[in-house]
Homo-oligomer: A and B are copies of this chain.
Amino acid sequence: MGSPELASAFLSDWHRIVAEQDLEALREILAEDVSIGAPPYWQRLEGRKLVHHLLGLIIQTIEGFSYHREWQQGGELALEFTGRVEGLDLQGIDLISLDTEGSIARLDVLIRPVNAVNALMGIITPQLATFLAEPD
């Protein structure tokens, strides 16, 4: 688990990356074996390449992304956000576990309400399927 200092440094990077949609820097803060628990699936998705692609799609698809309440407990973070997809308001939370180097080891994304999750996934799933069908 990362220290509070790592978490603070991570948070300022994270907010900049999301605000600027800096996908290059996003890749650099993901651990090699990062996993994500995404809103539509129970099964976790694993590995930097896949998680980076999915997170990039989420960041680019949600409009008006803004962060609100923020909790930090050692290297465990909970970050509340709001935004819109296809005109539908949404509220979400990122639960982030940092490793000892301050990279994201584990991430869960929870979003309400269901209609916004469905709209988000309606946009992202075809792009994710195309990505998954590409040769390595």
- Nearest chain B residue, comparing its CB with the CB of A39: B112
Q: Is the CB of B80 within 8 A of A69?
A: no
What chain B residues lie within 8 Å of A80 (beta carbons)? 78, 95
Cβ of A99 within 8 Å of any chain B Cβ, yes or no, is no
Please classify the interface of chain A as helix (H, G, I), strand (E, B), loop, or mixed, using the class held by over half of its residues.
strand
- Nearest chain B residue, comparing its CB with the CB of A43: B113
- Nearest chain B residue, comparing its CB with the CB of A77: B71
- Nearest chain B residue, comparing its CB with the CB of A71: B71
Contact of A91 among B108, B114, B116, B121 (CB under 8 A): B108
Which of A42, A70, A91, A111 lies at the interface centre, i.e. has the most chain B CB atoms within 10 A of its CB? A42
Q: Please list the 3 inter-chain residue pairs (A to B) with the smallest Cβ-Cβ separation, ordered nearest first.
A: A71-B71, A110-B110, A78-B78
